[in-house]
Structure 1
Amino acid sequence: MEYFITGTQLFFSTIIGIYFMTQLINNRTSKCVVHEGEDTKFQELQQLRKVYLKEPLTEKMRPKTEKDIIGQDDALLALKAALCSKNPQHVIIYGSPGVGKTAASRIALDIAKSQPESSFSKDAKFIEIDATTLRFDERSVADPLMGSVHDPIYQGAGTYGSSGVPNPKPGAVTKAHGGVLFIDEIGELHSIQMNKLLKVLEDRKVHFDSVYYNEKDKNIPRHIHDIFQNGLPADFRLIGATTRDKNEIPPALRTRCVEISFKDLQHCHLKEIIRQTVKRELIKIEDETIEKIAWHANNGRDAISILQMAINKSALSKNDIVTNKDVEWVIKSGGYMSLKPKKVTGNMNIGKINGLYVSGQGTGGVSSIHCVAKKVSKGLGDIKITGIVEEEELRQSHSSIKRKSMVKSSLDNVLTVFKAKFNIPIEDYYIHITFPSGAPTDGPSAGIAMFCVLYSAIFNEPINSNIALTGEITIHGEVYPVGGISQKIQASIEAGIKKIFIPQENMSEMYIDYDIEVCPVNNINEIIEDIFTASIIRKAN
């Protein structure tokens, strides 16, 4: 019996020994397999790192200092005021692509770090992410913005995974701690992410949860206990950039931020960008060619892209200088449209007038408004208006409403003034007003222009094309203020207009120095007396 027990023990000891020996051999083998060919792979990786292409001119010319930012003086000053103080603020930047939103934000942070009283330290980070590419999991398995928790079930055979320890990973809000978090296209951020971001902005830290976390578990490292109990620091300043309109951004975010608008670059700014590039890169090009590029570029990035392609075309043709012919080829192949405004002629026209507008991104423009009016049988008149937005939908957080076009509402006001104030029988006329601009028009600022063009058409009174008007009209003939006056005046100057009528409440001393006559008015009678030969009362009689 004793021999049997001894033999059994020896047998099991041998089995156990063989098992552990096999495991040891397997571990050594797996290590060898893991490291097999690592030297070759490492060398291949290093060889790949040595291969690089020259960066495009658009990247090379990206603004790096305050002087490099062109055409955004007011916006950059506002950005500096928001960041370069003891109490920096969150910011939302509105603007078209390619106007310098990202570059200006980086430069503003660099300036803020150099200020003696700034809250930003010298090593404050600028973390940039794009809201259109952010993906997240509602279980917080993956969230590059807020951070995530890698639970043991997802960690595999790692140190924490085998020990059953959840492992929190910091997101962009923590990486930006003490610096700036720049979110491009913030208007595209998912509503769930937006709400989480608002909470982080309020708490200045981000909290994590996990069913695998136990505050009494002594196997969990101290720093992980601290993260789950106190959260990860996330005290940063948010700069959100968007190409959307203000009313499309959640009000909860807007109320926490300073709002800054970057304007579309004007022709002179685009020329300056091209000239800077030409000077820095020692490019031979004619002034006339620079002018042509600037008139076909929507923004600074477009201008540099057209220039780059023209340089490449010139090089392929073995030419030393970039010519108009090279640029015309780029314009044709790229499908670029001319943005050169049509110059006014100074002619006298009946039923034709210049209105003024501002685009969604702050660019002013001149819009020609046409009208025909023909007397018909009593009470059989008709009114048409074309080239406008017929109806608009206003979206709110949980609902949307539709309303009549603002231009149509302005026309109703105009007709009321004609009938109620001046006793003109509008119902006896066939009237057609159109905005032949190629793009749907909306807004109340065309009110006084529509009144004058209708007056011209009804009474055959010519209007000089050297004038332009902007202002809202009431049913009593009063002229109310509108927005974007500075941009409208600038657009008028570029179009060769000599005189512009604006609401009295919009008048500013700085407009006196402009190279154009600016006439403030309070009511429609003041405009009629200025541009027409007889008052409307005498005409009606």
Structure 2
Amino acid sequence: MSKERELPLLPLRGILVFPYMVIHLDVGRERSMAAIEEAMLGDRIILLTSQKETEIDSPTTADLYTMGTVAEIKQLLKLPGGTMRVLVEGIDRGHVLEFLQEEPYFKVRVEELSEKKKPMSAETQTLVRGMTHQFEEYAKLSKRVPVETLGTVLAVEEPGQLTDIIASHLNLKVPDKQLILEALEIDERIERLTELIMREIEIMELERRIGLRVRKQMDKAQKEYYLREQIKAIQKELGDKDERQVEADEYREKVAKAKCPKEVEQKALKEIERLEKMPPSSAEGTVVRTYLDWLLVLPWNKTTRDKIDLAKAEGILNEDHYGLEKVKERILEFLAIRKLTPKMKSPILCLVGPPGVGKTSLAKSIARSLDRKFVRMSLGGLRDEAEIRGHRRTYIGALPGRIIQGIRTAGTRNSVFLLDEIDKMSSDFRGDPASALLEVLDPEQNANFTDHYLEVPFDLSQTFFVLTANTLDTIPRPLLDRMEVISISGYTEDEKVNIAKRYLVPKQMKTHGVKDEVFTMDEEILLKLIQNYTRESGVRNLERQIANVCRKIAVRVVKEDWESHALTLEDIENALGAPRYHFQAAAKAPEIGAVTGLAFTEVGGVVLTIEVTPLPGKGNLTLTGKLGDVMKESAQAAWTFIRAYALELGIEQDFYEHTDLHIHVPEGAVPKDGPSAGITMATAMASALSKRAVRADLAMTGEITLRGNVLPIGGVKEKVLAAHRAGIKVVLLPEENRKDMEEVPEKVRKLLEFHFVSRIEEVLKLALLPLAQSDEVNNNDSRHTVYGGKGVPVNDNGAGERPVVS
């Protein structure tokens, strides 16, 4: 039986009222109090419905269940603070047909659903018996239903009323109670309720078993505590205090507070038990104490929270460093992915470049942009594997490796860890540190890095490793394969000017106590300082020269012999002396047998001149200048090519029978190696033997084969920057290195003329001047002559009788 009526609605949070249920409700929300006041003005009838989410303070119609309970307000009491306490009694189920208004209170049109009393079928009787039996079991286990209440409930005969009363006494969540309320059919309602009671009984049985087990453990712990307290009391009465026990208890407290992984905790407790059984003065006891101190101080679970703010991180990186776009881009990529995937493993970055370009300071900026702790470890000269993995505890004075020591210093598991100068490691009978680093720098393995001292795995996967190196040649390939290499080449003069203006000059003025108004250095003066007083890839020497200028001016300021003004070139020369370097480092005029080559060393790109002088002899080749094996082999390959293609190059075919060649690379104290001087040596030999001068404004690099092919080389950007610094105008590069021009700054590309060659004939055509233009050079330098037998010079028959290389 049902009827429709309009009623105010009272939303309930975390509670549901069934028909036949009498309950007190505390009401404090304005709309709820308005609904109660409206009901009190009428027949005291109100609809009670539950909210779907208890956290919502101002529910809308979508946040309320549409099936509720029509109830009568029995009593109303206003409490201090503007709240009400209402006693309500459920009457019937009510289904919301329409929400008529939401303000100042909810008003709804309700279909009131009354249940008709009818005889129970056999099936319903069976369901009721099962339900009452399950409710009795629930009452016994929960102990929340008093015996008197149980008897009153079970005395109800009408099945619908009995189901609602039992449901009101169960400790169920609101969604489960709502299922019972919405079940209009009696049999369906009884089945749902029986299923919920059985579920609650299973949960309470499980809780009881867990409680028994916990109680047994607590009884055991209490017994041990009681016995220990008795021992302490006895020792106190006797005046005998067990230091070992006190120390062990202190360590156990530290273990409990450390929140270590389970494996580490078990290891620590085992060592504490050993310590308890050792005499206090035992040497092994000291080893165990040191071990426990290390175990308990490491940040097993402590991490710092990353600053996932790309704009702020980018601002910090740009504030600390000028240029270096690739590195900055990689850090911002890491931050973006970190925001999308918080559990991402940290990358392994290797910054490769010459000294003074800012590799180490860039690692500090990375830590600052991520708001992480920073740790630095220098690997230069490291040759003991134990420095990485630690010493086993069998050795006296054993300690963990420097990786674990760095983690302890940082105090967090996700610090930025700088491994400086990784290319300077070596190995000897004590082990190979590079091999030990394979586990540290492998994201797939370092989650379980095991130090020989700790003997338990430590997770390094969240540690951001940044490595620096001047060159990749000395790094083992397996180790290099685990890194993400980012090359940082030398700076252009424009970049150096900007770095000096933004960072170096303000830093040195502040360091030397020189105020901003004392002097200024404009870009023109900085450029002259760079060109005339430094010759480097980085800016380290430039910073020293700026510091030197600041010191000289500081002395004059103290002597009151200085008036504030913008520095001139004269001021720079007075402070630093005459210029040490000249911008035009290339040859000033064409020479025979002297070719400018480009090389890539640990300090960046450099320009070197290869000299070749022919001598009377029997075809011997002499090499000087402290050349490496690879460079010597390049010279032999170039010599063989010149002999094989002598006629095509305009050289006497049998010249080697009466001519020796001496190849020298200046700065003989500096070791030189690599294949990229192959075409340079071949050009120098061809120039010396054919008496054709080489262009003074041209430099080249490339590997040569016996057949005259030009192979690609590395370090293109660094070599091109070196050519630019030396005043070179034309650069010859292998054809296969054309793709590497993207790395060369656009400003430098516009200032230089590039030729890409694939054959040595192309090199000689571009580099060698015709014989007619070389006569003046020949007349001024009689040394470059191809000698015949017994030291007699071979006559030159003129340019017309020599084939031109094409």
TM-score normalised by length of structure 2: 0.45
> How far apart are residue 475 of structure 1 and its match?
0.8
Query: How many residues are matched?
Result: 417
User: For residues 757 and 236 of structure 2, what CA distance do their matches in structure 1 show?
Assistant: 103
CA distance in 2, matches of 1:90, 1:252: 14
The CA distance in 2 between the partners of 1:262 and 1:244, in whole Å, is 9
Aligned: 1:418 with 2:659: no
Which residue does the alignment assign to 1:372? Answer: 613
CA shift for structure 1 position 89: 1.6
Q: Which moved more, 1:289-298 or 1:95-104?
A: 289-298
Instruction: Name which of 479, 482, 490 aligns with 2:721.
Output: 490
Please say if 1:316 is aligned against 2:555. yes
Q: Residue 68 of structure 1 aligns with which residue?
A: 320
1:145 counterpart = 2:402:
yes
Q: Quick check: 1:82–1:258 contact (8 Å CA) kept in 2?
A: no
Task: Tell me the CA shift for residue 208 of structure 1.
Answer: 6.8
The structure with more radius of gyration = 2
Q: 1:65 to 1:203 in 2, by over 3 A?
A: closer
**What's the CA shift for 1:348?**
2.9
| Alignment gaps of 5+ in structure 1 | 1-15, 24-62, 114-122, 149-169, 211-226, 392-404
1:355 has 2:597 as partner: yes
1:384 to 588, 609, 622: 622
Q: Name the SS for the 1:270 alignment partner.
A: helix
Q: Matched residue of 2:494: which SS? A: helix
Q: Percent identity?
A: 23
Is the Cα–Cα contact under 8 Å of residues 549 and 576 in structure 2 kept in the other structure? no
The answer as to 2:497 corresponding to 1:255 is no
Q: CA deviation at 1:71?
A: 4.5
- TM-fit CA distance, 1:484: 2.0
Partners in 2 of 1:481 and 1:179 — Cα distance? 40
**Superposition deviation, residue 110 in structure 1:** 5.1
Deviation per CA, 1:408-450: give whole Å up to 9, x if none: 2122112212222335322321322222245343222222222
Query: What is the aligned counterpart of 1:107 among 360, 365, 371?
Result: 365
- Looking at structure 1, the residues matched to 318 and 601 of structure 2 have their Cα atoms a distance apart, in angstroms, of 27
Q: Call closer, same or farther: CA 1:536–1:304 in 2, change over 3 Å.
A: farther
Instruction: Answer yes or no: is the 8 Å Cα contact 2:597–2:609 preserved in 1.
Output: yes
SS for the counterpart of 2:419 is strand
Cα deviation, residue 327, structure 1: 5.3
How many Å apart are 1:347 and its aligned residue? Answer: 2.6
| Deviation, structure 1 residue 78 | 4.6
Name which of structure 1's ranges 231-240 and 482-491 shifts more when overlaid on structure 2: 231-240
Q: How does 1:361-510 map to 2 (within 5 A)?
A: 361=603, 363-374=604-615, 376=616, 380-389=618-627, 391=628, 405-422=629-646, 424-425=653-654, 426-437=656-667, 439-508=670-739, 510=742
State the Cα distance separating 1:303 from its structure 2 match: 2.7
Q: RCO (CA 8 Å, sep 6+): is it higher in 1 or 2?
A: 1
Residues 42-441 of structure 1 mapped to structure 2, 5 A cutoff: 65-78=317-330, 80-81=332-333, 85-86=337-338, 87=344, 88-109=346-367, 111=369, 113=370, 124-131=372-379, 137-139=391-393, 141-143=398-400, 145-147=402-404, 171-172=407-408, 175-187=411-423, 191=431, 197-200=437-440, 201=442, 202-207=445-450, 231-243=457-469, 245-277=471-503, 278=505, 282=516, 284-287=519-522, 289-295=525-531, 296-297=533-534, 298=536, 299-318=538-557, 319=562, 320=564, 338=580, 340-344=582-586, 347-361=589-603, 363-374=604-615, 376=616, 380-389=618-627, 391=628, 405-422=629-646, 424-425=653-654, 426-437=656-667, 439-441=670-672
Decide whether the 8 Å contact of 2:612 with 2:688 is kept in 1: yes
Q: Secondary structure at the match of 2:363?
A: helix
Letter in 1 for 2:365: I
Compute the displacement of 1:143 (Å).
Answer: 2.6
**Cα shift readout 1:503-524 (whole Å, capped 9, x = no counterpart):** 1111247579532221112212
- In 2, distance between residues paired with 1:284 and 1:265? 26
- Asked whether the equivalents of residues 173 and 181 of structure 1 are also in contact (C-alpha less than 8 Å), the reply is no
1:384 Cα deviation after fit: 1.9
Distance 1:209 1:488 in 2: 45
Q: Give the 3-state SS of the residue equivalent to 1:204 in structure 2.
A: helix
Alpha carbons of 1:85 and 1:339: their partners in 2 closer, same or farther (altered >3 Å)? farther
> Secondary structure of 2:803's partner?
helix
Alpha-carbon distance between aligned partners in 1 of 2:700 and 2:403, rounded to the nearest angstrom: 50
2:525, 2:569 within 8 Å by CA — same for their partners in 1? yes
Cα distance in 2 for partners of 1:187, 1:176 equals 27
Within 1, Cα distance between the matches of 2:424 and 2:719?
Answer: 30
| Unaligned ranges ≥5, structure 2 | 1-234, 243-314, 339-343, 510-515, 648-652, 771-798
Which residue identity does 1:349 align to in structure 2? E
Normalising by structure 1, what TM-score?
0.64
- Indicate how the Cα distance of structure 1 residues 406 and 536 shifts in structure 2: closer, same or farther if over 3 A, else same: farther
Distance 1:256 1:232 in 2: 19
- Tell me how large the CA RMSD over aligned residues is: 4.2
Please tell me the residue identity of whatever aligns with 1:470: T
Q: Which residue in the other structure is 1:37 paired with?
A: none
After superposition, the C-alpha distances for 1:241-271 in whole angstroms (9 at most, x for unaligned) are 3445323334443222112232233443332
Q: Distance in 2 between matches of 1:535 and 1:483?
A: 39
**Equivalent pair of 2:584/2:726 in contact (CA under 8 Å):** yes
Give 1:352 shift.
Answer: 2.0
Offset from partner CA, 1:24-70 (integer Å, 9 cap, x none): xxxxxxxxxxxxxxxxxxxxxxxxxxxxxxxxxxxxxxx95324313
Instruction: Say if 1:126 and 1:347 are closer, same or farther in 2 by CA, change over 3 A.
Output: same
